[in-house]
Amino acid sequence: MADPATQKISLSLTASYASSWGLWEGLRETVQNWHDGLLVSSAATPPVLEASQSKLDFGAGKDGLRFEARRASQEVGWCEYLPGEAKLTFVNRGVGLGRQVLLMGYSKKAQHHDVIGSFGEGLKVGSLALLRRGLKLRMITGAEVWEFVLAVDPSFGELVLMVEATKRPLELDLELEGLPSILSSLEPSDTATVLEGLRPEEWAEL
């Protein structure tokens, strides 16, 4: 039985939409959204409108599995691949998203020039491509936890992209939720995107 606290939000994208998109395209959109979030992070001051005014410095771990981003000498996010868990995690410091970004044609990034994604469609279409490959995608952002799923929309009788939204707990039980322990430092103002099912050989080809 579904959790009564879970809200299912239909995004009205059929499972076959953009059928030519695969793993690479889905990951490309995920990385682009993470990159755009780094530019507008409130974790670094002053905030900027033009990306050209905001130089990002990236550092990579020796094993090539973790990448950290800084702006004005302050950490604004990081991403890390865990081969033992087949999970790829992205964190944006000081970035929170509202449900409006789930609408086609809406994007908070439209207020900022020079960001890669202008309209926000990539979040939805990229997620769809990843789910078709059998991966699991969750986002912890703002006051909610979003899980992207493929499910039948009873209004249309078609398999579509949906988001199952639940209230974000004040303190995440990472083990219970099946989330990587590296998220133990996640703050309430941060956004985390967790992609599960990415095999080491697929990571090596990226």
Domain assignment present for residue 145? The answer is yes
* H/E element, 161: strand 158-167
Domain assignment present for residue 2? The answer is no
Query: Could you tell me the residue range of the domain that residue 55 belongs to?
Result: 7-40+47-205
Domain assignment present for residue 56? The answer is yes
Contact criterion met (CB below 8 Å) for 67 and 59: yes
Calculate ∠ Cα 182-185-190, nearest 5°: 105
Determine the Cα–Cα distance for residues 195 and 87; give it in Å rounded to an integer: 6
Domain assignment present for residue 188? The answer is yes
Question: Both ends of the chain: CA-CA distance in Å?
Answer: 38
Contact criterion met (CB below 8 Å) for 47 and 197: no
Domain assignment present for residue 131? The answer is yes
Total number of domains in the chain: 1
Determine the Cα–Cα distance for residues 63 and 73; give it in Å rounded to an integer: 23
- Could you tell me which residues are beta bridge partners of residue 191? 92
Domain assignment present for residue 1? The answer is no
Domain assignment present for residue 96? The answer is yes
Domain assignment present for residue 97? The answer is yes
Q: pLDDT truncated to tens, each residue of the chain (206 aa)?
A: 456 689 999 998 999 999 999 999 999 999 999 998 898 887 665 555 454 456 889 999 888 899 999 988 889 999 999 999 999 999 999 999 999 888 877 655 544 444 444 336 789 999 999 999 999 999 999 999 999 999 999 999 999 999 999 999 989 999 999 999 999 999 999 999 999 999 999 999 88
